[in-house]
Amino acid sequence: MMWTLFLLSSCVKLLLIPSYTSTDFEVHRNWLAITSSLPLSQWYTDATSPWTLDYPPLFAFFEYILSFVAYYFDPLMLDVNNLNYKSDATLLFQRLSVIFTDIILLYGVKECTNYFTQSKIIKPKKWTQPRSHQIVFQILLIFNTGLFFVDHIHFQYNGFLFGVLLLSMAKILQGHYYEGAFWFAVLLNLKHIFIYIAPAYFVFLLRNHCFHPNKPASLSTLSMTKLSKLGAVVVSVFAVSFGPFIGQLPQVLGRLFPFDDRGLCHAYWAPNFWALYNTVDKAAVVIVKRFDLVSVNVTNTMTRGLVENSQHVVLPSISPRVCLVLTLCGILPCCYKVWKCPGNPLHFVRCLVLCAATSFVFGWHVHEKAILLVIIPLTLLAVIWEQEARFFLLLSTIGYFSLFPLLFRPAELPTKTIIFLIQCIYSFGHISLIYQQVSSSFYRLPLLNIVESLYICNFVSVYLFDNFFMNLFGLREKFPFLNLLVISLYCS
């Protein structure tokens, strides 16, 4: 069944090959060229292109392996001096490489499905079968709307990365802690954004594996042998990844964490707390200018739509340290819950989701794409418990809609609209059937209350404003950032 779903999804992805590609397409083409034609010592120092290598070393090695295949499609794409190179063969290779590596996503989904089967955690009602839960789970991930948008149109490699995440989660759930730790360490060395969820792994593995789960945590119940083995697994992965670059470690870390070059928010604000904060600051600027209360400098505001270290004008500017403190305060309750209630691996998944959500809400320079780090693990819980299913329906609908500005060309408007609507119809329809919660009211969506339902339905107004009213009243030329602000603010 999963292979059939995977082949069907691959057919859809093939149809998306001619779609719009973002600057990330050139970013990854340049990384192919860097890793293919330059010595390893120059991978993290080369600055021929502005799109320098800023992913961890294992991802650089991944690009290096891809470059061997890329050579047979078009060797010119591997020239570091061919900036913004985009031949038909290059487009075909890079699109196919994303589709092919999604097989890792399929493997991660398979391992999670195996956990459902082995653990019998799903207790079906008399009107459902366990297999119905599993099929819904598989379809929601293999045909994931966010991955269609971000990977197969916008262009990135998140599918195989989330496959590694699901594989790691499945191994933890199955009680194979060393394998789970190994795959998560690999994941961190592929893309460091997953450090957001590292606290969930650290606390769960320490409490459930290194301490005796059925006894109070103390030095007497700490197994130094297990702790050493677990540490050896993680350290060995980092040693293999960073070992070849040990002499230029500061340069590598500077590329991975460029706090001086990146501001609080991306060009398009992720719909989080800082979107609200920025909006209040912008409104305060308008009021201050309108009534001439204070002389302010508004040349470097948060609404210029640029990736830069912009400053707030009226409200206090936020530093990375403030974001870190707020994030740590936000994740402490769920980590404490995991520590105090060992033995339940699904507490680990909840903690993982909450760590990702808190980091998305309060993190520094958060991309809107980071919402997938919350939605994809939450999918596993959505087919087990009704409350998590409600959260999933809300968050997935909002999160996928918030990705619309990534695909800003009119040519992609029908595509993203159709994919989004299919996602909404399938998820609301089939998840509600799992829990036999079919809405009896026209104004109430399944599993949601009337306020939540009205909020979701009002996305129609936001969609019309963005795609029709902005053009109809000439607002796009006069206020080019307005539609982004409205979408970000409403989704936040």
**In this structure, what are the phi and psi dihedrals at residue 173, rounded to the nearest 5 degrees?**
-60, -35
Mean pLDDT of the chain: 90
Tokens read off for 179: 């394998």
**Length of the chain counted residue by residue:** 492
Per-residue pLDDT tens for 133-157? 899 999 999 999 999 999 999 999 9
Sign of CA dihedral 53, 59, 64, 69: negative
What is the Cα–Cα distance from 16 to 149, expressed in whole angstroms? 10
Confidence of residue 125 (pLDDT cuts 50, 70, 90): low
Is residue 204 classed exposed, middle or buried when 0-12, 13-18 and 19+ CB atoms within 10 A define those classes? buried
Share of the chain above pLDDT 90, in %: 70
34-88 pLDDT tens trace:
999 999 999 999 999 999 999 999 999 999 999 999 999 999 999 999 999 999 9
- Cα angle value 63/181/252 (rounded, 5°): 40
Q: How confident is the model at residue 122 (pLDDT cuts 50, 70, 90)?
A: low
Question: Closest Cα to residue 182, out of 170, 193, 145?
Answer: 170
> Nearest Cα to 322, choosing from 384, 351, 365?
365
In order of 113, 129, 131, 377, 438, the CA distances from 122 in angstroms are 11, 9, 9, 16, 20
pLDDT value at 217 more than 90: no
Q: Which sign, positive or negative, has the C-alpha torsion 452, 458, 460, 464?
A: negative
Check whether 290 has a pLDDT greater than 70: yes
Q: How many CA atoms lie within 13 A of 230 on its CB side?
A: 23
* Whether the Cβ atoms of residue 484 and residue 266 lie closer than 8 Å to each other: no
pLDDT at 391 over 80: yes
28: which residues sit within 8 A by CB, 6+ positions away? Answer: 63, 94, 155, 156, 157
Residue 320 tokens read as 């990375």
Residue 212 has what pLDDT?
Answer: 81
CA distance 168 to 234: 13
Distance between CA 143 and CA 6 in Å, rounded?
8
Q: What pTM was estimated for this model as a whole? A: 0.93
Instruction: Name the residue with higher pLDDT: 302 or 104.
Output: 104
- Residue 153's H or E segment, with its range, is none
More confident residue, 305 or 12: 12
16 vs 477: CA distance, rounded Å:
29
With contact defined as beta carbons under 8 Å apart, do 155 and 98 qualify? Answer: yes
pLDDT of residue 155: 95
Angle between helices 88-101 and 103-119 (to 10 degrees): 10
What pLDDT score was predicted for residue 260?
A: 72
Question: Which H or E element spans position 421?
Answer: helix 413-434
pLDDT on residue 463: 95
DSSP state of 319: P
Return the number of other C-beta atoms located less than 10 Å from residue 82's C-beta.
18
Position of tokens 């839960």?
133
Residue 297, helix vs strand vs coil: coil
Q: What number is the average pLDDT over the span 166-181?
A: 96
